[in-house]
Chain A
Amino acid sequence: MWRRILALTIKEFLTLLKDKRSRMVIIVPPLIQLMVFGYAATFDLKHVPFAVFNEDRGTVSRDLVAAFHGSPSFEQVARLTQDREIAPMVNSQQALMVIRIGPRFSAEVLSGNPAPVQIIVDGRNSNTAQLVANYAQQIVKQFNTGWIASHGGSTPPALIETRAWFNPNLESRWFFIPGIVGLLTLVVTMLVTALSVAREREQGTFDQLLVTPMRPGEILLGKALPSFVIGMAEATVIILVAVFWFQVPLLGSLLTLYTGIVLFLLSAIGLGLMISSLAVTQQQGLLGAFFFLVPAIILSGFATPIANMPPLVQDLTLLNPMRYFLVVLRGVFLEGTPFHLLIHPFAAMAAIGVIALTIAAWLFRHRMY
C-alpha cells in the first residue's frame, strides 16, 4: 500500500515540476509577491505630504511647524499664503493634511491661553485620515509637554503612559508579514490542489487510476502529499525571509508554529481537493479555487479585523481555515503564545481538514459523469 502511495506521490511531483510553466507558477510568483507585498502591506505612514498655512509671525508657530518637520511621518510640500489655496491643495491630493495657524497663535500661547491650531485632513481614505490625525495629535502632545516643561505651567492632573505589548514600536509590518505567510501558502496550495483531480479527469488519466487496485484513500494521500511537501517548503522559505529579511521577531516555539502549518495545510489541501473533485472540468476547478480564495483572504482578518464584521459574517468566517491560521501565526510570531492556548484554532483547522478530505475521497468515486 505504501509503495502505491509513494509511486503516486512521485508521479504527482514529476508532473508538477517537469512542466516548466507549472514549476514557474509554484516558485516564482510567491517569492516576488512576498517581497513586494511585504513592503506594500503596512499601515505605518511615511512622508505624509502636508501643507502649512501660517498667518502667525511669532516663533511659537515656527517651533510647532518644525516639530512636524522633525517627524519622519510627515513631509511638507507647500507653504500657503491664502485661505483659498487650502481647498485645491487637499482636493488634488497634493497634501493629505493642512496645518492652519491663526494670526494670534503665538500671542495666545505666550499669554498662557489655549491656542487653537486647525488640522484639515483628507478623509477619502478614512483609515489613513485617522492615522494622520493620530500622528498629529502625538506631535502636538509632545510639543505641549515640552512647552510646559520649559516655560512652566500647570501639568494635567493625570497622564497616560502607553505601553504596547508584543510590538513596542507598533510596526504594522510585524502584523502583516506573518499574515502574508498564510496568504501565500494558501494561494500556492490552492493552485496545486484545485486542479490536480480536475486535470486528470479531463485528460482521462483519472479513470486509469481508478481501475487500478488503488483505494480512494490511497489516491487521496498520493494527491495530498506532494501539495503538503510543497506547502511546507513554501511556508518555510517565507518564514525564513520574514525572520531574517524583514526582521519580524519569532518568539514562540517552532513546534507550535509547525503544528499550525501542518494543520493549516491539511485543511487547505482538503478544501482544494474537494473543489477539484467537485469540478468536472479544469475551468470549473479554477473558478472554484478563485471564488474560495477571494473571500477566504478578504474575510480572514488579514487586513481588517474580524471583530469589526457584523455577527453574520463573523459566523461565516468560522468555516475559513485562514482565520485560524492567522491567529496561530501572529500569536506564535509576536506573542510567543504557548501551544496550549492555541488548542482551539488547531482543533478547528483539523476538523475542517478531516471533513473536507473525507468529502473529497467520497467524491472521487461518486462524481464522474
Chain B
Amino acid sequence: MTEPEPRHDSAAPGTFGMRLRGLIRKEFLQIFRDPSSIAIAFLMPVVLLLLFGYGVSLDSESIPVALVVEQPSADTTSFTAAFHKSRYFVPTSYATTRAAETDMMAGKVNAIVVLRQDFAQRLYRPDSAPIQLIVNGVDANTARIISGYVEGVWGTWLEHVALARGESLATPVQIEQRVWFNSELRSRNFLVPGLIAIIMTLIGALLTAMVMAREWERGTMEALMVTPVTMSEVILGKLIPYFILGMGGLALSVAMALWLFNVPLRGSSWMLFGASALFMLTSLGMGLFISTLGKSQFVAGQIAIITTFLPAFLLSGFIFDIGSMPAVVQTITHVVAARYYVAILQTVFLAGNVWSVILPNLLGLGVLTLIFLGLTYRKSRKRLE
C-alpha cells in the first residue's frame, strides 16, 4: 500500500456475507436466550398436535341410539340384534316412542329406530314393513353418517332374512364400494396432515410477525438501519434462522404423524421435505408481511390472529371440501397458503408422489411466497417514515 492507511474507514468494506452472517448469528443467539420462540417452534406443535390429533375425529363410533319395539317377536329380535353387533351403535331399548323422543330432545340419543306393532305381520306381506328412523338432524353430517350406518345394518339384516327364507335378495343394482388410499376411512389419516398445515401456519406467521415488530418497538431497527446493511439483508437475516427453527418444528410434527398417529407415507420423504420447506417460506413470508403493516407487536399480533388461524381452519380444505364452496369463496381460498399445503400433504401421505396434484399446489405456494416477500421488500424501505 502506497498510501497511508486512512484513519476513518469510510465506505464499508464489509461484504454481504459478513453482514448476513452477523445478523443470522444475532438472531440465533436471541432465539436461544429467549425460550419463548423455541417453545413456540417446538413445544406448541407437539402439544397442539397431540391434543388435536387425538381430539379431532369424524369417525363416529358408539353412537347412542334408541330402539323402540312395539311388539317384540323373533323377527324384531333378529333386527335389533344386528344393532347390538354393530360397532357403530350403542342401542338402548325404550318402551314407547315418546320416552325415546324426550331423550333425543335432551341429547341423550342421536337417533331412534321404531318397529311398529305390525312390523312382524307386514314383513310377510308384499307391501314391505316400515322401519322408522328418526335422526337428530342438527348435526347434518353426523345425521347422514348415522343413516348410512343404519342402512348398512338393515342391508346385512335383509341378507340374513333372505338367506333364512332361501331366497336371493332381489336388488337390481348392487354397489361395490372401493375406497382408495384410505380403505378404512380413518379420518385421522387426513386430519393429522391438515392439522400440521394449520399449526405450522400459525407458528410461522407468529414467529416472524412478532420478532420484526419487536425490533421496531425496542428501537433496535433504527440502530440497524444506520449501518450499511440493506433491507434485503435484514429480511434474509430474519428468514433464515426462523426457517431453520420452523423446519425443526415441522420435522417433529411429521415424525409424530408417522409414528404416533400411524399415518402412512406413500410419497417420498424428499417430496414431503421440499413441499414443507416451501410452505415454511410462505408462512414466514406472510408473517414478515404482516409485520410491515404495523410496527407494533400489538397490531402485528392482532392481524396475525385474524388472518391466520380461522382462514387456515375453515378455508384450507382441511375439513370442509373446497370444491363444494361457492365460486367466490373458492377464489378467496387461493390466498390461503394452508390450502396448497393441505392438498400436498394429503396426497403425499396417502396417495404418493402424484405430480399432477403436487405441481400446481407447489406453484401456488411459490407464487404466494414471491408475493409476500416481494411486498415485504417493497414496503420495508430503509427509512423511518
Contacts from A to B (Cβ < 8 Å) = 21-22, 25, 29, 33, 36-37, 39-49, 64, 88, 90-94, 96, 109, 112, 114-131, 133-134, 136-137, 140-141, 143-144, 147-148, 151, 153-168, 170-172, 174-175, 183, 187, 191, 195, 199, 282-283, 286-287, 289-291, 293-295, 297-299, 303-305, 307-310, 312-313, 316, 327, 330-331, 334-335, 337, 341
Q: Which of A22, A64, A92, A131 contacts B356 (CB 8 A)?
A: A92
B306 touching A29, Cβ below 8 Å: yes
Q: Which of A92, A172, A307 contacts B357 (CB 8 A)?
A: A92
With both chains docked as a complex, state the minimum distance between the C-beta of B41 and any C-beta of chain A, in angstroms: 13
B314 touching A126, Cβ below 8 Å: no
> Across the interface, which residues of A come within 8 angstroms of B161, CB to CB?
157-158
With both chains docked as a complex, state the minimum distance between the C-beta of B141 and any C-beta of chain A, in angstroms: 4
A307 to B55, CA, bound (A): 10
A42 touching B324, Cβ below 8 Å: yes
With both chains docked as a complex, state the minimum distance between the C-beta of A228 and any C-beta of chain B, in angstroms: 20
A341 touching B106, Cβ below 8 Å: yes
Stretch from B8-16, B145-153, B231-239 forming part of the interface with A: B145-153
> Across the interface, which residues of B come within 8 angstroms of A141, CB to CB?
151
Chain B: CB-nearest residue to A301: B139
A157 touching B123, Cβ below 8 Å: yes
A9 to B75, CA, bound (A): 69
Within B31-73, which residues are at the interface with A (CB < 8 Å)?
36, 40, 44, 48, 51-52, 54-63
Q: Which of B171, B297, B351 contacts A282 (CB 8 A)?
A: B297
Besides A134-B145, A137-B148, A160-B154, 14 other A-B contacts (C-beta < 8 A) = A39-B325, A39-B326, A40-B314, A44-B324, A64-B173, A93-B356, A123-B183, A126-B59, A126-B182, A158-B130, A164-B135, A290-B301, A305-B142, A313-B51
Within B162-193, which residues are at the interface with A (CB < 8 Å)?
167-183, 185-187, 189-191
B292 at interface, CB cutoff 8 A: no
B56 touching A144, Cβ below 8 Å: no
Stretch from B219-227, B246-254, B315-323, B372-380 forming part of the interface with A: B315-323
A160 to B129, CA, bound (A): 9
A25 to B63, CA, bound (A): 41
> Across the interface, which residues of B come within 8 angstroms of A43, CB to CB?
140-141, 144, 320-321
Chain A proximity mask over B117-159: 1 for CB below 8 Å, otherwise 0: 0010001101111111111111111111101101100100010
> Across the interface, which residues of A come within 8 angstroms of B143, CB to CB?
164, 167, 170
Chain A: CB-nearest residue to B59: A308
Q: Which of B136, B142, B174, B306 contacts A25 (CB 8 A)?
A: B306
A199 to B128, CA, bound (A): 70
A286 touching B129, Cβ below 8 Å: no
B61 touching A124, Cβ below 8 Å: no
> Across the interface, which residues of B come within 8 angstroms of A64, CB to CB?
173
> Across the interface, which residues of A come within 8 angstroms of B309, CB to CB?
290, 293-294, 297
B58 touching A126, Cβ below 8 Å: yes
Within B286-331, which residues are at the interface with A (CB < 8 Å)?
294, 297-299, 301-306, 309-310, 313-315, 317, 319-321, 323-326, 328-329
| Residue with the greatest number of chain B CB neighbours at <10 A, chosen from A155, A172, A191 | A172
With A140-B175, A161-B133 in contact, do A175 and B151 touch (Cβ < 8 Å)? no
A157 touching B128, Cβ below 8 Å: yes
With both chains docked as a complex, state the minimum distance between the C-beta of B119 and any C-beta of chain A, in angstroms: 7
A119 to B48, CA, bound (A): 36
Q: Which of A40, A46, A316, A337 contacts B315 (CB 8 A)?
A: A40
A144 touching B137, Cβ below 8 Å: no
Q: Which of B130, B135, B170, B294 contacts A112 (CB 8 A)?
A: B170
B245 at interface, CB cutoff 8 A: no
B176 touching A119, Cβ below 8 Å: yes
With A133-B179, A174-B140 in contact, do A123 and B185 touch (Cβ < 8 Å)? yes
B281 at interface, CB cutoff 8 A: no
Chain A: CB-nearest residue to B349: A124
With A140-B173, A166-B136 in contact, do A130 and B131 touch (Cβ < 8 Å)? no
With both chains docked as a complex, state the minimum distance between the C-beta of A278 and any C-beta of chain B, in angstroms: 14
B60 touching A307, Cβ below 8 Å: yes
> Across the interface, which residues of A come within 8 angstroms of B190, CB to CB?
124-127
With both chains docked as a complex, state the minimum distance between the C-beta of B72 and any C-beta of chain A, in angstroms: 16
> Across the interface, which residues of B come within 8 angstroms of A165, CB to CB?
104, 134-137
A126 touching B329, Cβ below 8 Å: no
> Across the interface, which residues of B come within 8 angstroms of A282, CB to CB?
297-298, 301
A341 to B61, CA, bound (A): 26
B338 at interface, CB cutoff 8 A: no
B276 at interface, CB cutoff 8 A: no
B173 touching A143, Cβ below 8 Å: yes
With both chains docked as a complex, state the minimum distance between the C-beta of A339 and any C-beta of chain B, in angstroms: 13
What's the tally of chain B residues with a CB closer than 8 Å to chain A?
114
Chain A: CB-nearest residue to B135: A164
Q: Which of B58, B128, B351 contacts A124 (CB 8 A)?
A: B351
B185 touching A130, Cβ below 8 Å: yes
A36 touching B329, Cβ below 8 Å: yes
With A114-B170, A123-B180 in contact, do A172 and B140 touch (Cβ < 8 Å)? yes
B282 at interface, CB cutoff 8 A: no
A156 to B174, CA, bound (A): 14
B347 at interface, CB cutoff 8 A: yes
B206 at interface, CB cutoff 8 A: yes
B346 at interface, CB cutoff 8 A: yes
Chain A: CB-nearest residue to B194: A125
B173 touching A308, Cβ below 8 Å: no
B1 at interface, CB cutoff 8 A: no
Chain A: CB-nearest residue to B182: A123
Q: Which 4 A-B pairs have the closest CB atoms?
A: A167-B137, A164-B137, A123-B182, A286-B301
B210 at interface, CB cutoff 8 A: yes
A161 to B129, CA, bound (A): 10
> Across the interface, which residues of B come within 8 angstroms of A36, CB to CB?
314-315, 329, 332
Chain A: CB-nearest residue to B64: A307
> Across the interface, which residues of B come within 8 angstroms of A304, CB to CB?
55-58, 191, 319
With both chains docked as a complex, state the minimum distance between the C-beta of A110 and any C-beta of chain B, in angstroms: 9
B74 at interface, CB cutoff 8 A: no
B305 touching A309, Cβ below 8 Å: no
With both chains docked as a complex, state the minimum distance between the C-beta of B200 and any C-beta of chain A, in angstroms: 13
With both chains docked as a complex, state the minimum distance between the C-beta of A300 and any C-beta of chain B, in angstroms: 10
With both chains docked as a complex, state the minimum distance between the C-beta of A327 and any C-beta of chain B, in angstroms: 8
A172 touching B141, Cβ below 8 Å: yes
> Across the interface, which residues of A come within 8 angstroms of B182, CB to CB?
123-124, 126, 129
Q: Which of A127, A153, A157, A307 contacts B187 (CB 8 A)?
A: A127
Chain B: CB-nearest residue to A297: B313
A298 to B305, CA, bound (A): 15
With both chains docked as a complex, state the minimum distance between the C-beta of B43 and any C-beta of chain A, in angstroms: 10
> Across the interface, which residues of A come within 8 angstroms of B56, CB to CB?
298-299, 303-304, 309
> Across the interface, which residues of B come within 8 angstroms of A155, CB to CB?
126-128
> Across the interface, which residues of B come within 8 angstroms of A187, CB to CB?
305-306, 310
A159 touching B130, Cβ below 8 Å: yes
